[in-house]
Amino acid sequence: MAVPKRKMSRSNTRHRRSQWKASVPKLVKTVENGRVVYSQPHQAKLVTDSAGSPLFYEYKGRKVADA
Protein backbone atom coordinates (compact mmCIF):
# COMPACT_ATOMS: atom_id res chain seq x y z
CA MET A 1 0.00 0.00 0.00
CA ALA A 2 1.25 3.48 -0.84
CA VAL A 3 2.21 5.47 2.23
CA PRO A 4 2.86 9.25 2.45
CA LYS A 5 6.55 10.01 2.93
CA ARG A 6 6.11 13.37 4.66
CA LYS A 7 3.59 15.06 6.85
CA MET A 8 1.25 17.33 4.91
CA SER A 9 1.47 20.81 6.37
CA ARG A 10 -1.58 22.53 7.80
CA SER A 11 -1.06 25.29 5.23
CA ASN A 12 -1.10 22.92 2.25
CA THR A 13 -4.16 21.12 3.58
CA ARG A 14 -6.06 24.35 4.05
CA HIS A 15 -5.02 25.75 0.66
CA ARG A 16 -6.29 22.58 -0.98
CA ARG A 17 -9.57 22.66 0.88
CA SER A 18 -10.08 26.34 0.06
CA GLN A 19 -10.56 25.28 -3.56
CA TRP A 20 -13.62 23.15 -2.75
CA LYS A 21 -16.67 24.93 -4.10
CA ALA A 22 -20.37 24.22 -3.92
CA SER A 23 -22.37 24.70 -7.09
CA VAL A 24 -25.88 26.10 -7.24
CA PRO A 25 -28.42 23.53 -8.46
CA LYS A 26 -30.50 24.47 -11.50
CA LEU A 27 -34.13 24.82 -10.50
CA VAL A 28 -37.38 25.62 -12.25
CA LYS A 29 -39.98 27.78 -10.59
CA THR A 30 -43.65 26.83 -10.81
CA VAL A 31 -46.76 28.07 -9.05
CA GLU A 32 -49.00 25.36 -7.62
CA ASN A 33 -52.22 26.31 -5.83
CA GLY A 34 -50.91 29.85 -5.39
CA ARG A 35 -47.63 28.68 -3.85
CA VAL A 36 -44.25 29.04 -5.52
CA VAL A 37 -42.53 25.66 -5.81
CA TYR A 38 -38.95 25.03 -6.96
CA SER A 39 -38.05 21.71 -8.54
CA GLN A 40 -35.28 20.15 -10.58
CA PRO A 41 -35.83 20.16 -14.35
CA HIS A 42 -36.19 16.89 -16.36
CA GLN A 43 -36.82 14.94 -13.22
CA ALA A 44 -39.91 13.35 -11.70
CA LYS A 45 -41.44 15.33 -8.90
CA LEU A 46 -42.61 13.95 -5.56
CA VAL A 47 -46.32 14.57 -5.05
CA THR A 48 -47.44 14.93 -1.45
CA ASP A 49 -50.87 15.14 0.12
CA SER A 50 -52.05 18.10 2.25
CA ALA A 51 -50.37 16.67 5.38
CA GLY A 52 -47.02 16.51 3.56
CA SER A 53 -46.66 12.74 3.41
CA PRO A 54 -45.28 11.46 0.07
CA LEU A 55 -47.73 9.84 -2.37
CA PHE A 56 -45.96 9.16 -5.69
CA TYR A 57 -43.57 10.55 -8.28
CA GLU A 58 -45.05 12.44 -11.20
CA TYR A 59 -43.53 13.60 -14.49
CA LYS A 60 -45.42 15.51 -17.19
CA GLY A 61 -48.78 14.68 -15.66
CA ARG A 62 -48.06 10.94 -15.55
CA LYS A 63 -47.58 8.87 -12.43
CA VAL A 64 -44.09 7.39 -12.73
CA ALA A 65 -43.24 5.54 -9.52
CA ASP A 66 -44.35 4.98 -5.95
CA ALA A 67 -42.80 7.11 -3.24
Partner 1 sequence: MPTPTKGPRLGGSPSHEKMMLANLSANLFEHRAITTTLTKAKRLRPYAERLITMAKQGDIAARRRVVGKISANSATNQAIVHELFTVIAPAMAEREGGYTRIVKIGNRKGDNAPMAVIELVMEPVSPKQAVVKEAEQATATPAAQPAQEEATEVESTEVESTEAQTTETDSADTATTESESAPAESTEAEGQK
Selection from 24, 31, 63, 33 nearest residue 45 by Cα: 63
Which range binds partner 1 by CB under 8 A, 7-15, 16-24, 54-62? 54-62
Q: Provide, rounded to whole angstroms, the least separation between the CB of residue 11 and partner 1.
A: 32
**Residue 59 engages partner 1 in binding (rule: CB under 8 A):** yes
**Residue 61 engages partner 1 in binding (rule: CB under 8 A):** yes
Which range binds partner 1 by CB under 8 A, 6-14, 16-24, 41-49? 41-49
